[in-house]
Amino acid sequence: MPDKTINCKDCGAEFIFSEGEQAFYQEKGFANEPQRCPDCRRARKQQRNNNSGGGGGGRYSNGW
């Protein structure tokens, strides 16, 4: 599995999906390659964590 060059879907930067990362994804059973560069992945994860506010992230409504 050679390294792959992928374009980030958020910022458009090229990043390397290394052989080691590919093996990790395969080991975890992830079907898709990453679509975001490490910086955008980190920013997105931080944004999700900051917006969760408890209560399961606000994705579901209980109708109240």
**pLDDT tens digits, one per residue of 4-61:** 999 999 999 999 999 999 999 999 999 999 999 999 999 999 999 988 655 555 555 5
Answer for the pair 36, 20: CB distance below 8 angstroms, yes or no: no
Q: Is there a domain that residue 30 lies in?
A: yes
Supply the range of the domain harboring residue 36: 4-50
DSSP 36: S
Q: Is there a domain that residue 10 lies in?
A: yes
Q: What is the pTM of this model?
A: 0.69
> What is the tally of structural domains in the chain?
1
Q: Is there a domain that residue 24 lies in?
A: yes
Question: What is the predicted pLDDT for the residue at 30?
Answer: 96
**Checking phi first, is residue 30 left (phi over 0); if not, alpha (psi -120 to 50) or beta?**
beta
| DSSP β-bridge partners for residue 17 | 4
Q: Is there a domain that residue 17 lies in?
A: yes
Structure tokens given for 10: 């958020």
